[in-house]
Chain A
Amino acid sequence: DADVTQTPRNRITKTGKRIMLECSQTKGHDRMYWYRQDPGLGLQLIYYSFDVKDINKGEISDGYSVSRQAQAKFSLSLESAIPNQTALYFCATSASQGANSPLHFGNGTRLTVT
């Protein structure tokens, strides 16, 4: 079973539609992140959360919002999708303690906005 689960795995939507991507984890980690990946640009941080009541903007938060409903759940919303939000989206978690705490990624959501 995946420790970090993203739904849906693939989604095609139209410009202007609202869409939510969901992420849940069973790792017991406090910290959760949303990244997008575009060819040639690497992983870019959208939002991150270190606790249920903590939400922080990343490098490219415009056009996105998030909700940390519980320690195990972190969802990403696109209020009005646009074509340049077509990308591969990854949710990730990390432990809050310990210097050697890598990111653990979900399997990704491939989003296409037409």
Chain B
Amino acid sequence: GQNIDQPTEMTATEGAIVQINCTYQTSGFNGLFWYQQHAGEAPTFLSYNVLDGLEEKGRFSSFLSRSKGYSYLLLKELQMKDSASYLCAVRDKGSGTYKYIFGTGTRLKVLA
């Protein structure tokens, strides 16, 4: 079956580093995406991994290990505006068509 797990909630301090983990099980893995979603707003795209390794984009980095079915999103130099939910999504090519499967999201609270 298809399953994506991520922690429900995390708390960190302004200026710190936080790592949000995501584990997945899919039948036809074709890429992993991270989105940021502020309360009541649309998810916005942060990063994409399809090969193993680290992708860095400014303060945000994302890592993928396909053999372990594991990814993490690393946020450095945390700012108050980073308080949001972070959604892990896998693109899966099960049954011949591409679908995006979402985890339930990790709500991050950044404290002053």
Contact = CB atoms under 8 A, between A and B. Distances in A.
Contacts of A50: 97
A40 B104 contact: yes
Given A105-B42, A105-B44, A99 B100 contact: no
Interface in B66-112: 87, 89, 97, 99-100, 102-105
Interface string A50-64: 100000101000000
B101 to A, nearest CB: 8
Q: Is the interface of B mostly helix, strand, loop or mixed?
A: strand
Interface in A28-65: 33, 40-45, 48, 50, 56, 58
Interface residues of A, number: 24
Interface residues of B, number: 21
Interface of B: 30-31, 33, 35, 40-45, 48, 50, 87, 89, 97, 99-100, 102-105
28 contacts: A40-B104, A41-B104, A42-B103, A42-B104, A42-B105, A43-B43, A43-B89, A43-B102, A44-B102, A45-B99, A45-B100, A56-B97, A88-B40, A90-B42, A94-B100, A100-B50, A102-B33, A102-B35, A102-B45, A103-B33, A103-B43, A103-B45, A105-B44, A107-B41, A107-B42, A108-B40, A108-B42, A110-B40
